[in-house]
Amino acid sequence: MAIQKPSIPKGTRDFSPEEVSKRQFIFDTIRHQFQLFGYAPIETPSFENLSTLTGKYGEEGDRLIFKILNSGDYLAKADDAILQEKNSQKLISTISEKALRYDLTVPFARYVVQHQNEITFPFKRYQMQPVWRADRPQKGRFREFYQCDADVVGSDSLLQEVDLISLYDAVFTDLNVPVEIHFNNRKVLSGLAEVADISDKLIDFTVALDKLDKIGEEKVKEEMREKGIPQTSIDILSPLFSMKGDFRSQLASLKAILNTSEIGLKGIEELEFVFAKIEKLGLKSADLVLNLTLARGLDYYTGAIFEVKAKGVQMGSIGGGGRYDDLTGIFGLNGISGVGISFGLDRIYLVLDELNLFPDSVDHSLEVLFINFGEAEAEKAMDLAKELRDNGVRCEVYPESAKMKKQMQYADKKAVKFVAIIGEEELKTGNLTLKNMLTGEQKSIAFDELKNAIP
Amino acid sequence: MAIQKPSIPKGTRDFSPEEVSKRQFIFDTIRHQFQLFGYAPIETPSFENLSTLTGKYGEEGDRLIFKILNSGDYLAKADDAILQEKNSQKLISTISEKALRYDLTVPFARYVVQHQNEITFPFKRYQMQPVWRADRPQKGRFREFYQCDADVVGSDSLLQEVDLISLYDAVFTDLNVPVEIHFNNRKVLSGLAEVADISDKLIDFTVALDKLDKIGEEKVKEEMREKGIPQTSIDILSPLFSMKGDFRSQLASLKAILNTSEIGLKGIEELEFVFAKIEKLGLKSADLVLNLTLARGLDYYTGAIFEVKAKGVQMGSIGGGGRYDDLTGIFGLNGISGVGISFGLDRIYLVLDELNLFPDSVDHSLEVLFINFGEAEAEKAMDLAKELRDNGVRCEVYPESAKMKKQMQYADKKAVKFVAIIGEEELKTGNLTLKNMLTGEQKSIAFDELKNAIP
C-alpha cells in the first residue's frame, strides 16, 4: 500500500498530553461546581436521527450539520431523476438518516421528551460533550469543539437565574478568571421595540447602541439613521444613551421609557428581582452588569439573557445563555420553560493560558524516573516504583539499560521532577541516589525511605 | 412543523445521571492508574480523513466505518456513469472524505507519525474516547462506545509487558474486580504451527483446544480432525492436552514440543521472562494465567497477547491487548515496536453492576434540599446554600414555594440525603430543622452550625 503523509481534517485538532491535562482541569472545575449546584450529568449519542436536528437551527444551520452516509448500498433506493440532475440537497434524505450533534440543546430537548416519565421536574442537567459544525474553519473556530451546558427545565422561578449567575461566579472564581457577567432581558428589548415602533430594526438598534463607549453618542445615532431607524424612534429611546449609576438608577431610567409597554415593564421587574437577590447574596469575584445591548439568540430567548466576558483580555464572550420558553414543544411536550448557561471551553483555555492561570497541579507528568542499570537494578527499581505508585506518586522505570546520557535526556524532555539512581553500588548499600531535576540537588536515601522523600 | 416522536439511532444510547456517574467512576479509576504508571493523555479528532482509515481494518472493517457526507454540493463532481449505475461503493470516495474514528489504534499511529518530532520516545500514551462502528447492534454491542487504551511505542523491552500486567492488576484491584489475566505469545503459536506443519489451520486448532475443559480431550481431537488437521499434527501437539502445574512446568512441556522451532523457543523465552518478573514483583489481586489458546488479533500481534476475564461472572473478556511491530509503518515511520492494552468500559460497567461493586461515593446526587416557604425564607436558604457549597456540599433551594408535599416528593425522587426546613418560625429563632431522609430523624440546628452538621 502506498505510504500516506498523515494529516487531520481541517478544523479539527490533535491534543497533546499538556493540552489534554489543561482542558481536563477546566472540565473538572466546571463539573465540580455543576454538581455543587445540584445539576446532574447526562450524555446523549454523538449522532442523532437527521430528522431530530433538521429545521432546528435555521437554513444556515441545516447546511452546517454534518450528515452521515447510510451504510451498505445507500444508493439503491435513490430517485433516478434526482441522481441525473445531481441534486445534492434533494438526495440527502435518501442517503443519510443520521447526523452529528450540532449543539447540546436540541439533543437535551429530545432527551427530556423521550425520558419525561423517568425525569423528576424541575430537571437540572449538565452536559459536557463535543459538537460538530461544518463551518469554515478560522482562528478560534473549529469543526469539532466541546460545549459545557447547565440547564434547568420545568421551573419558571427567577431563583434559577439567580442560581445560574452564582454558578458562573463560582466557576470563574475557582478558575481565578476575573469576569463581568452581562445581563439583560428579552422582554425589555421587546418593550423597547414596541414603544419605539421598530420591531423590525431592533437588532440594528442594539448593534449600534453597543458601540456607544467606542464611538460616542453622535456616531451611534448616525449609524442608526443609516440603518433606517426613524428619528422619532431614536428620540423616544435617547434616554438609553445617558443611563448611568447602579442598576437601581439605570432601571429607573428604563422604566420611564417603557412605562407604556406591559412586556417591557415585566422585563424590568424580572431584572430588578434578580439584581436585588444577587446584591443581597453577594458574588465572590464576578461583576454583574446590566447590558441593554445584549441581544444574543434574540429569536430564541424569551426572558433573561447572559453573557460572560473576561476582564483584561481581548476575547469575545467566554460564556452565555438565557431563558427560553417551550424548548420541548417541537418534540410534543409543551409548556416546559427552561433557562441555561454555557461555558466556552476553547476561549476559557485561551484566557487561562494568556493570563498564566493554569495551576501547577494541572501537570500530570512523571514525578520520578528510575534509571535502568541492568537486570538486578531494574528489578529493585520496579519494586520501589510499585511502592511509590501505591503512595500516589507517578513514576516509571526506564525500560532498557541504555546509556545514562540517553536516559537523562528522556527525563529532561519529559520534565521529570526526580531521577532515582540505583546502580550496583546502591544495590549493595540499600541506598539510592535521588536527584532533584529542578535544583540539581542530589541526596542519598535508604530504599525504604524513598516513599517519604517525594513531596 | 409536524411533531416528531423522539428517538435515537439504533445502537446508540442516552446515559442517565446515574449511568454517567458510574461510568465516570470507571474512567477516573483507570485514568488515575494510567497516570501513576507514567502514561500521558492525548486526544484525536472524532473524524479522520477517510484515507487514513480505509484499508486498515480489512474489507469488513472498511464497510463498518461510518462515512461523513461532504458539505455543500457534494454531487457536483460525481461521475455520471457511477451515478447511473447506482454504484454506492465507487461513489463513496467522491462524496465522502471524512469518517468517524473506528478505533483508537490507527489514529494513535497517525498521531505518532504526524507529531514524531515533538514526541519523546519511548512514548507512553493513554486515550479514552468514543469510537463508532456500523455493526449490527445487539445485546452488549453498540454503534458508539468508548475505548480506553494505554500503549507504549518505541521500546521493545519486555519490562513494558511486565508493567502493563501490573497496570491491569492495579486498575482491577482499585475496582475491586477479581480477574484472571490470560497471557500468551504469538511467537509460541507461530512455533506450534511450524512444528506441526499446520500454519493454515492454527486458528481452528486453538479454537478447538480452548474447549478442552468443557468437552474433554477426545472431543477436542475429534473437532480438530473434522477441521482437517492431520493426525500426525495432533500427535506432535498432544502434550498440550496434558499441560499442568505452574508456569515453569508448563513452559518446560512446551519447550519439549517446540525444541526445533527458533521462533517458538523465542516465544517461550519471552513468556518465561515476564512470568518470572511478575512472580518476583507480585500482583495485588489478579491471577496471571498462561493460556496457549489465546490468539486474539492473530494477524496483528507479534509478541505478547493479553486478555482479562472477570472471575465469577459470565462476561467474555473485559480487556485485551498485545505487542505489535511496525504499527506506524503504514504512515511511513518504520521500525517502531509497540505494546498496549485496552479496557472494555461497557463490560466492566456490567461486571461492577452485577457484583454490586460501585461504591457509594459514585453517587453525586444532591445532599441537601432547602424547602422553600416564601421569599424571606428562600433568601436565608440561598445564603446557607452558598455557605454549604463553599464547604463542598451539593445542595439547592427548591425554586418555588410550592406545597410542602410536592417539595418533599421532589426530595424523595431525587434521593436527597437531607432536607433543610426554614419556615417563619425558624427565621425568628435562627435554628433550622434538618431531616435525615434515610432515617427520618429530625433535629434543630443553628444556622451557623449547619455546615458542620452535614457529614
What's the complex ipTM?
0.94
Helix (H, G, I), strand (E, B) or coil at B37: coil
Nearest by CB to A67, which of B41, B69, B410? B69
Mean pLDDT, residues B125-140: 94
> Mind telling me how many Å the CA of A4 is from chain B's nearest CA?
5
Q: What is the pLDDT of residues B216-239, one digit of tens each?
A: 889 989 999 999 999 999 998 888
| Interface residue A361 vs chain B (CB under 8 A) | no
Residues of chain B in contact with residue A331, where contact means CB-CB under 8 angstroms, are: 3-6
Cβ contact (<8 Å) for B277 and A379? yes
Residue A336 phi, psi (nearest 5)? -105, 105
With bands split at pLDDT 50, 70 and 90, how would you rate the model's confidence at B3?
low
Check if A26 contacts B (Cβ < 8 Å): no
Q: What is the pLDDT of residue B376?
A: 95
Q: What is the pLDDT of residue B212?
A: 81
Question: What residues contact residue B86 under an 8 Å CB cut-off, 6+ apart?
Answer: A73, A75, A76, A78, A83
Nearest-CA neighbor of B370 among B417, B314, B413, B307?
A: B417
pLDDT band at residue A363 using 50, 70 and 90 as cut-offs: confident
**Within an 8 Å CB–CB cutoff, is residue B78 touching chain A?**
yes
- Which pLDDT score is estimated for A297? 59
Higher pLDDT, B259 or A5: B259
Average pLDDT estimate for A103-121: 95
Confidence of residue B316 (pLDDT cuts 50, 70, 90): confident
- Residue B52: what pLDDT? 95
Q: How confident is the model at residue A427 (pLDDT cuts 50, 70, 90)?
A: very high
- B361 CB within 8 Å of a chain A CB: no
Closest to A386 (Cβ–Cβ): which among B12, B41, B281?
B281
- Structural contact between residues B288 and B168, judged by C-beta atoms closer than 8 angstroms: no
Query: Alpha-carbon distance A394 to A135, whole Å?
Result: 41
pLDDT for B239: 83
Residues A139-185 have pLDDT tens digits of: 888 999 999 999 999 999 999 999 999 999 999 999 999 999 999 99
pLDDT at position A4, please? Answer: 61
Cβ separation of A332 and B414 shorter than 8 Å?
no
Query: Which of B2-11, B59-68, B297-306 holds the top average pLDDT?
Result: B59-68
**How far apart are the C-alpha atoms of A79 and A65, rounded to whole Å?**
23
Residues B139-173: tens digit of each pLDDT: 888 999 999 999 999 999 999 999 999 999 999 99
* Residues facing residue A184 across a β-bridge: A305
Query: Which of the four pLDDT bands, split at 50, 70 and 90, describes residue A3?
Result: low
* Mean pLDDT value of segment B375-396: 97
The answer to the question of whether B301 is labelled as a binding residue is yes
Which residues from A are below 8 Å from B83, CB to CB? 83-84, 86
Binding residues of A for L-histidine: 103-105, 133, 147, 151, 296, 300-301
Sorting pLDDT into bands at 50, 70 and 90, what band is B299?
low
Rounded CA-CA distance B357/A392 in Å is 22
Q: What is the pLDDT of residue B423?
A: 96
| CA-based nearest distance A324→chain B, Å | 17
By three-state DSSP, how is residue B169 classified? helix
Which pLDDT band holds residue B200 (cuts at 50, 70, 90)?
confident
What is residue A420's predicted lDDT score, i.e. its pLDDT?
Answer: 98
Contact (CB<8Å) A382/B14 = no
pLDDT at B70: 97
Chain A interface, best mutation among B10, B16, B116, B129, by max A CB count within 10 A: B16
| Per-residue DSSP letter, A290 | E
CA distance B117 to B137: 41
Cell 445507500: give the residue: A74
Reported as a pLDDT band with limits 50, 70 and 90, residue B364 is confident
B188 confidence band (pLDDT: 50, 70, 90): very high
Q: What's the whole-number mean pLDDT along residues B182-198?
A: 92
B159 CA: distance to closest CA in chain A (Å): 6
Count of CB pairs separated by less than 8 Å, A with B: 289
| Bridging pattern class, strands A338-343 and A368-371 | unpaired
Across A162-171, A397-406, B38-47, B299-308, least confident range: B299-308
Residue B391, chain A, CB below 8 Å: the answer is no
Verify cis geometry, omega within 30 degrees of 0, for the bond prior to A107.
Answer: no
Q: What is the mean pLDDT of residues A263-279?
A: 97
Cβ pair B38:A63 closer than 8 A? no
Cα torsion B409, A281, A240, A217: sign: negative
Distance between CA atoms of B423 and B373, rounded to whole angstroms? 6
d(CA A147, CA A44): 13
What's the rounded mean pLDDT across residues A77-101? 95
A408 min Cα distance to partner chain B (Å): 12
| pLDDT score of B350 more than 90 | yes
What per-residue confidence (pLDDT) applies to B325?
A: 84
Interface test with B, best of A21, A47, A106 (most B CBs within 10 A): A47
Residue pair B47/A9 in contact (Cβ under 8 Å)? The answer is yes
* CA–CA gap between residue B350 and residue B145 (Å, rounded): 14
Q: Where are the alpha helices (DSSP H) in B210-337?
A: 212-226, 231-237, 247-258, 262-281
Does A14 have pLDDT greater than 70?
yes
Closest CA to B372 of B410, B428, B416, B415: B410
Read off the pLDDT of residues B263-278 as tens digits, 9 standing for 90 and up.
Answer: 999 999 999 999 999 9
The pLDDT of residue B263 is: 95
* B133 has binding-site annotation: yes
Is residue B226 packed enough to be buried (19+ CB in 10 Å), middle (13-18) or exposed (0-12)? Answer: exposed
Gap between the Cα atoms of A178 and A182, Å rounded: 13
Residues A414, A365: contact at Cβ < 8 Å? yes
Residue B55 forms contact with A (CB below 8 Å):
yes
Contact predicate B185/B297, CB 8 Å: no
CB A283 within 8 A of CB A165: yes
Grouping H, G, I as helix, E, B as strand and the rest as coil, residue B51 is helix
The secondary structure element, H or E, covering residue A98 is strand A98-100
Mean pLDDT of A356-377: 94
pLDDT for A244 equals: 77
- Whether residue B23 is annotated as binding a ligand: the answer is no
Quote the pLDDT of residue A246.
Answer: 84
Cβ distance of B9 and A45 shorter than 8 Å: yes
- Residue B297 reports pLDDT greater than 80: no
Q: Is B430 exposed, middle or buried (0-12, 13-18, 19+ CB in 10 A)?
A: exposed
Residues of B in contact with A122 (CB under 8 A): 399
CA atoms of B53 and A343, how far apart (whole Å):
33
Cα–Cα distance for residue pair B36/B166, rounded to 1 Å: 11
pTM (2 d.p.): 0.94
Q: Is B105 annotated as a binding residue?
A: yes
> Which chain B residues are Cβ-neighbours of A389 within 8 angstroms?
33, 36-37, 170
Order of strands, sheet of A67-68, starting from the edge strand that comes earlier in the sequence: A47-49, A98-100, A67-68, B67-68, B98-100, B47-49
Distance CA B381, CA B448 (A): 12
What confidence score (pLDDT) does residue A58 get?
85
Kindly report the backbone phi and psi dihedral angles of residue A112, in degrees, each rounded to the nearest multiple of 5, phi listed first: -60, -45
* Of the listed ranges A98-102, A127-131, A289-293, the one predicted with least confidence: A289-293
Q: Which domains does chain A have, with CATH numbers?
A: 17-66+102-354 (3.30.930.10), 366-453 (3.40.50.800)
- B323 annotated as a binding-site residue: no
Distance of alpha carbon A294 from alpha carbon B439, whole angstroms: 49
Q: How far apart are CA A393 and CA A374, in angstroms?
A: 23
The pLDDT of residue A90 is 94
- Asked if residue B445 has pLDDT above 80, the reply is yes
* Averaged pLDDT, A384-393: 97
Q: Are residues A49 and A97 in contact, defined by beta-carbon separation less than 8 angstroms?
A: yes
Name A142's Cβ contacts closer than 8 Å, sequence gap at least 6: A11, A12, A13, A346
CA angle A23, A27, A28 (to 5 degrees): 115
Position B2 scores a pLDDT of 55
What number is the average pLDDT over the span B390-408? 97
Chain A interface includes B276 (CB < 8 A): no
Band of the pLDDT at B106, cuts 50, 70, 90? very high
Residue A168 · residue A179 · CB < 8 Å: yes
Is A376 near chain B, with CB under 8 Å?
no
Q: Which of B348, B343, B346 is nearest to B104 (CA)?
A: B343
Percentage of chain B beyond pLDDT 90 is: 81
CA dist B443 and B436 (Å) reads 9
Coil vs helix vs strand at A422: coil
A288-339 pLDDT, tens digit each = 999 988 876 556 789 999 999 999 998 889 999 999 988 898 898 998 999 9
Inform me whether the pLDDT recorded for B7 exceeds 60. Answer: yes
Strands ordered across the beta sheet of B40-41? B40-41, B123-132, B144-153, B338-343, B317-324, B304-310, B179-185, B287-290
The pLDDT of A388-406, averaged and rounded, is: 97
pLDDT at B63: 94
Residue B298 has pLDDT above 70, yes or no: no
User: What percent of chain B has pLDDT above 70?
Assistant: 98
Q: In terms of residues, how long is chain B?
A: 455
Q: Is B331 on the interface with A (CB under 8 A)?
A: yes
CB contacts under 8 A, A 107-166 vs B, are 110-111, 113-115, 118, 120, 122, 124-125, 130, 132, 134, 144, 152, 155, 157, 159-160, 162-163, 166
- Using the beta-carbon criterion (under 8 Å), do A399 and B64 form an inter-chain contact? no
Whether B9 shows a pLDDT value over 80: the answer reads: yes
At residue B403, the pLDDT reads: 97
Is the per-residue pLDDT at A2 higher than 60? no
Is B52 known as a binding-site position? no
The amino acid that residue B347 corresponds to is R
